[in-house]
Structure 1
Amino acid sequence: MAEAPRTVPGQDLTIRPFGPSDVDLLAAFFEAVATDPAADRFHPHPFTPEAALRIAEHQGRDLYVGQFLDGRLIGYGILRGWDEGYQTPSLGIYLAAEARGQGLSKALMDDLHGRARERGAEKVRLKVYKNNIPAASLYEKLGYVFLTEEGEQRVGLLDLVSKGGGR
């Protein structure tokens, strides 16, 4: 299924799925993620050149998108679990250090919520470390409800049907 790039009004901000031509760009981004101390809270998969190749060439239902500001890759988002048969995808995002604190996380989350809704998801799931207060605060503002915990993480659900999930 081909996914269209989306732009954010008022900014040179584009969010689009990765494709085969993005493998080198994604591998370089993953190298930066792997050396970022804040990334110890984001570990959906290894951040290796092999993972970059697998994601850039991915053909399943799971979705991997890049957030580009002025043409530079500054964010990474995932919706996954569909390939394994789950109806509720798990969402994850990562923003480069220079992109944090500018409201760009919300734009990426809103985009992923919209894409999940377009693919028929009624809910989206995510995990956040209990000590990651800024992220948990954003997720709660977006409508996530945290009812369970798994170790040091809280598990949140967003009802895309009743809450709207942004946009």
Structure 2
Amino acid sequence: MQIRDAGPADAAGIAEIYNDAVRHTTAILNEGEVDAANRVAWMQARQAMGYPVLVAVAGDRVLGYASFGDWRPFDGFRATVEHSIYVHADARGQGLSRQLMQVLMDRARALGKHVMVAGITSENTVSLALHRKLGFTQSAHMREVGQKFGRWLDLIFLELRLDPRPHP
């Protein structure tokens, strides 16, 4: 298994993982599926802003992906990013998420980011536990702000300070 920057050839694998999460989980609160062209455009937009899109691959098979982008589109939040990480159903429980997160956090630090934010539905206990193990702390619990599969969903925000800078 290798973790590297994603390219257009990875788009179909990324779309497959994304669409599985759309169909079967509350990790993504979107209901529409995407195709490879959509994921290429998404990757190019992220990369044009200088942000990484990482893939974990075995051979040419995408096992997982991770990225981050601006948390909010205002100048005062430029040192804060929000991330996403998704792993293929067949590759879960093997430590891949932790490995992707470590590389993603290193990339954020290298870009001078100060805080990384995670927004996770409260029922996604595996992701919540992983983030807590990585040092993220809960900063908010927003009740019934999301919906999917005919239910209201709580959203938990966690944050990780990436560096000890006392001032920007």
Give TM class, smaller chain: 0.7 to 0.9
- Residue in 1 aligned with 2:14? 29
1:15 paired to 2:3: yes
Q: How far off is 1:73 after superposition?
A: 0.6
- Residue in 2 aligned with 1:113? 105
Partner Cα separation in structure 2 for residue 154 and residue 83 of structure 1? 17
Give the TM-score, by structure 2 length.
0.76
Partner Cα separation in structure 1 for residue 70 and residue 55 of structure 2? 18
Same amino acid, percent of matched pairs = 23
Matched residue SS, 1:125 = strand
1:42 paired to 2:42: no
Give the TM-score, by structure 1 length.
0.76
Runs of 4+ in 1 over 6 A off after TM superposition: none
**RMSD of the TM alignment (CA)?**
2.4
1:54 to 41, 45, 49: 41
Partner Cα separation in structure 2 for residue 43 and residue 155 of structure 1? 15
Q: How does 1:58-69 map to 2 (within 5 A)?
A: 58=45, 59-69=48-58
Q: How far off is 1:29 after superposition?
A: 3.4
CA contact (8 A) 2:55 2:65 kept: yes
Q: When you count strand as a share of all residues, which structure comes out higher?
A: 2
Equivalent pairs, count: 147
CA contact (8 A) 1:92 1:126 kept: yes
Gaps of 5+ in 1: 1-12, 163-167
Partner Cα separation in structure 1 for residue 107 and residue 142 of structure 2? 26
Partner Cα separation in structure 2 for residue 71 and residue 143 of structure 1? 32
- Residue in 2 aligned with 1:161? 163
